Amino acid sequence: MGYSHQEIHEQLLRIYHKYRKLYKSNPDSKQLCGMWSLANPPDIIEDTPPFQEIEKAFNISLDEDNCLELYDMDIEEAVVEIQDIIKQQC
């Protein structure tokens, strides 16, 4: 299934806000890393609840490399990356 840039952005932003509110971070930041504790980040980033929800929302599979790349991206960069992942996995 194809998703528009706007659909991916809205869904990703919803997921981002859900997990970001669990941790204190810069409120102006749109970095995906804010969905995890920055003081105590997980040892293994893949298969964490935020990425599981992203996988489910867009019917994609994320490997360790995808997760590490997305972790360091802001929302807009991540939207483009998720669009590419969707195209590759169709």
Q: Parse the chain into domains and list their residue ranges.
A: 5-89
62-83: pLDDT as tens digits? 999 999 999 999 999 999 999 9
Q: And the tokens for 69?
A: 């790349």
Whole-angstrom CA distances from 39 to 34, 64, 65, 82, 89 are 11, 21, 22, 26, 34
pTM over 0.85: yes
Q: What is the pLDDT of residue 26?
A: 61
CA gap 32, 12 in Å, rounded = 10
More confident residue, 39 or 66: 66
